[in-house]
Amino acid sequence: MQTNHNYPVNIQNISRRKFLKGTGATLACFTLQCNIGFSANASEPSQKTKQALNLFVSIDKNNQVVLTCHRSEMGQGIRTSIAQIIADELEADWQYVQVTQAVGDKKYGNQNTDGSKSIRSFYQPLRVLGASAKFMLQQAAAQVWQVPIEECIALNHKVTHSSGQSLSYGELAQLAAKQSVPDTQVIKLKNKDEFKYIGKGLMSLDMEHFVNGSSVYGQDIHLPNMLYACLKRCPVMSGKIASFNAHAATQITGVEQIIEIEGQPLPAHFNPVASVAVLAKNTWAAMKGVKALDVKWQSTEYDDYDSEKTLLEKQNQIKHDDSKQVSLVKTEQTTPADLFTHEAIYTLPYIAHAPMEPPAATAMFHTDGSVEIWSCVQAPQAVQRKVSQVLAIDVSKVKVNVTLLGGAFGRKAQIDFTVEAVLLAQKAQRPVKVVWDREDDIQNDYYHTSSVQLHHAKLSTEKGLFDWQTKSCFTPIQSLWNIKKEHAQGFEMRDIIRKNFNIPSMKTESVARPAQTRIGWLRSVANIQHGFSTGCFMDEVAEKLNIDIQQHWQTILEGKKENQGLQNVIHQVCKNAHWTARKSLPSDEGLGLAAHRSFASDIAIISHVKVIENKLTIKKVYCCADVGTVVNIDRVKAQMEGAVIFGLSIALHNKISFKNGRVTQSNFHDYPVLRMHETPEIEVHIVDSDAPPGGVGEPGLPPLAPSVCNAIYATTGKRYRQLPLKQFFSV
């Protein structure tokens, strides 16, 4: 098993609707490109936008199969999973499989690695690509033997005839390249019981390079004559430079240039903020130069922003604030006579991404006016579009090489750091690598928005949960494109709407919240606050009705096919955690249950906590997930484990605060992520399913925090509706 990890120089760019054949007598190379129409989101048939998928299968005479990955690898294992799907239908021998990374190019279809969509959107097209290649190899063998293709069986990297003759894929490669791409209607895909790789826990194709340190991340790029850039950025949204003195910075050995990047007017989009860049021969000199800069910033309307004060105001005013109805479900039914009410308000702070690898990007201009970029980005085509706009050049003159991403969680879908590298390389007239340190990362993020949710229920002893009304208040991501967008809607409100629940009356409203900083996507997006508030509120309602929470969930979900996944994972996780025996736990321990559906997947989590006086310990987390068809079972389990750890960081620690418009946190000492000694035992159960693939990277996160808070209530009898919990406990 091998991987092409030399990103800067070893990326193939193959023209649309062409087959590339090996040139010269020494190489026989078969390259397949199929153009298959598909929905941009395979799990949502209503999606009307169609895109062309272009993935490539190449085979050389030595039997090596090179499969192209068009999505960004950020630890989720997508390079291996994509290879598994294609190789399975191709009937390739895994020991000969290599993977190479695609450059940014619209011919690959949607390359935005976000929304837990890579497998959801491309599972079927990838299978067809593999099966198409296999069919062409069979055609080639049939031509050699002068027999019908039906007599040629492709299996384990060779094609065999019933007479006993066989040819390896390498031997057939050159002739296979001359075959026509088959119509998709004649391609036969495997049945589930025929899979060799799909569903198995194959080791990452990148593992060897992860271990020996040869993997290439955004921070690893080095070009001849390159300068290293660090930037002092404006700490307040929309601020501009009033003046700066760079004399002290220029006296530092290694510093070569000081360049100003002008701030752009709102909306923020993916524009770099106003900044002064220090370009030097090494990173250390650039960092020292930034510290030596004396920069004065112009005042802005956001200078007085105090996030704590604003959040408190929203808590007090959410009942009366301007709101827009997002969803209404109301069934004609007699109102019970014994109605009583219960309501609760939940708040979450701003959250930063804090990936292990801070943003990094390198840019170099060529003599023809084109620019080449190496960056750890989730959206290479977005880079192409933005850079072409900034430079006023054609998109075809912007080449984006995608390196490995040392974590991302949505941060590297926002491409401001890449635009910085391009602007500086243009002004310096040399290759430039922009390096962010941890302080840059924490204080100049596109943050997950702070939020306030109000849930109001009308309950009946006889009828149960009769009416559920929700007001959700947070700054929408759309504010990046339109600063006047203050009401969240669309996908950001989708998974709080409970249309499929057995509740006679429901209403969801979005409360206005103007932007005070840059808001962006973060792992599971609005499901963070919605999963937290609904997961906690369901537990509170069950307690008010004097019903076991498992029973309450089943009552809410029963009778509707679309709820079957949630029902199943709740039942299974309760079985795994011995839910019915929870009362036998010590008095200072308890279990909490929460469940949530997002990204076409159903997740249920039970947390086992221990509380002694003010000390909170998470002893164990049980997770049960129904994510539909699984490609790599090990990676799915790892993603669920990662979601638990990420979710515990949010539940226990994570908080970004603004004072005078500036972020007050700066590094892991005051914005900690979960440490090893805090990490509990995690037990993951993946439901076997034949359903289409659901999302994996994000849906495990939303039920975690509410399960912890519900477990704390089961232990202490106290409700905690505000995160992070470190403000209430020693953790």
Return d(Cα 553, Cα 558) in angstroms, integer. 8
How wide is the angle at C-alpha 702 spanned by C-alphas 701 and 704, nearest 5°? Answer: 70
Please check whether residue 622 is in contact with residue 605, taking contact to mean a CB–CB distance below 8 angstroms.
Answer: yes
Dihedral over Cα of 270, 272, 273, 274: its sign = negative
Return d(Cα 235, Cα 242) in angstroms, integer. 13
Q: Which of 154, 179, 212 is the last residue of a domain?
A: 212
Whether 48 maps to a domain, the answer reads yes
Those residues of the chain that have pLDDT short of 50 are 1-28, 33-54
How many domains would you assign to the chain? Answer: 2
Residue in 420, 418, 416, 435 with CA at minimum distance from that of residue 518: 416
How wide is the angle at C-alpha 158 spanned by C-alphas 153 and 160, nearest 5°? Answer: 40
Residue 535, classed as helix, strand or coil, is: helix
Residue in 449, 450, 454, 469 with CA at minimum distance from that of residue 318: 454
Element (H, E) at 391: helix 380-391
Return d(Cα 114, Cα 126) in angstroms, integer. 18
CA separation, residue 380 to residues 12, 67, 413, 420, 442 (Å): 15, 19, 9, 15, 23
124 backbone φψ class: left, alpha, beta (φ>0; ψ -120 to 50): alpha
Return d(Cα 329, Cα 336) in angstroms, integer. 18
- Residue with the two structure tokens 């090893």: 676
Whether 654 maps to a domain, the answer reads yes
Whether 721 maps to a domain, the answer reads yes
CA separation, residue 567 to residues 246, 260, 558, 633 (Å): 63, 57, 8, 22
**Bridge partners of residue 257, in order along the sequence:** 279
Torsion (CA) 439, 444, 447, 451 in degrees, nearest 10: 90
- SS percent in the chain: helix, strand, coil, step 5: 30, 25, 45
Measured from the Cβ of residue 677, the count of other Cβ atoms closer than 10 Å reads 5
**Chain CA centroid to CA 88, Å:** 25
Whether 347 maps to a domain, the answer reads no
- Residue with the two structure tokens 């700054």: 475
Return d(Cα 656, Cα 353) in angstroms, integer. 11
Element (H, E) at 375: strand 371-375
Q: Which of 178, 212, 246 is the last residue of a domain?
A: 212
Return d(Cα 349, Cα 451) in angstroms, integer. 7
pTM above 0.85, yes or no: yes
Residue in 647, 628, 439 with CA at minimum distance from that of residue 535: 647
Cis peptide before 267 (omega within 30 of 0): yes
Q: What is the DSSP letter of 122?
A: H
Whether 399 maps to a domain, the answer reads no
Return d(Cα 58, Cα 137) in angstroms, integer. 12
Compute and round to an integer the Cα radius of gyration of the chain: 27
Q: Which domain range does residue 93 map to? A: 2-212
Whether 434 maps to a domain, the answer reads no
Cis peptide before 724 (omega within 30 of 0): yes
Instruction: List pLDDT tens digits, range 389-415.
Output: 999 999 999 999 999 999 999 999 999
Residue in 651, 650, 652, 654 with CA at minimum distance from that of residue 668: 654
What tokens were used for 691?
Answer: 């359903």
What tokens were used for 338?
Answer: 């014994």
Q: Give the pLDDT of residue 30.
A: 60
**Bridge partners of residue 233, in order along the sequence:** 275
Whether 633 maps to a domain, the answer reads yes
CATH code for the domain in which residue 113 is found: 3.30.365.10
Residue 232, classed as helix, strand or coil, is: strand
Q: Give the pLDDT of residue 32.
A: 54
What tokens were used for 275?
Answer: 């900044």
Q: Which of 170, 187, 212 is the last residue of a domain?
A: 212
Q: Give the pLDDT of residue 184.
A: 85
Q: Give the pLDDT of residue 330.
A: 85
Orientation angle between helical segments 78-90 and 118-145, nearest 10 degrees: 30
Burial class, 32, CB count within 10 angstroms (exposed 0-12 / middle 13-18 / buried 19+): buried
Return d(Cα 92, Cα 196) in angstroms, integer. 10
Q: Give the pLDDT of residue 51.
A: 18
Whether 405 maps to a domain, the answer reads no
What tokens were used for 34?
Answer: 């199929």
Q: Give the pLDDT of residue 6.
A: 37
Please check whether residue 386 is in contact with residue 482, taking contact to mean a CB–CB distance below 8 angstroms.
Answer: no
Return d(Cα 626, Cα 113) in angstroms, integer. 21
Instruction: List pLDDT tens digits, range 493-535.
Output: 987 877 889 999 999 999 999 999 999 999 999 999 999 999 9
How wide is the angle at C-alpha 668 spanned by C-alphas 267 and 308, nearest 5°? Answer: 55
354 backbone φψ class: left, alpha, beta (φ>0; ψ -120 to 50): left
Q: Give the pLDDT of residue 5.
A: 39
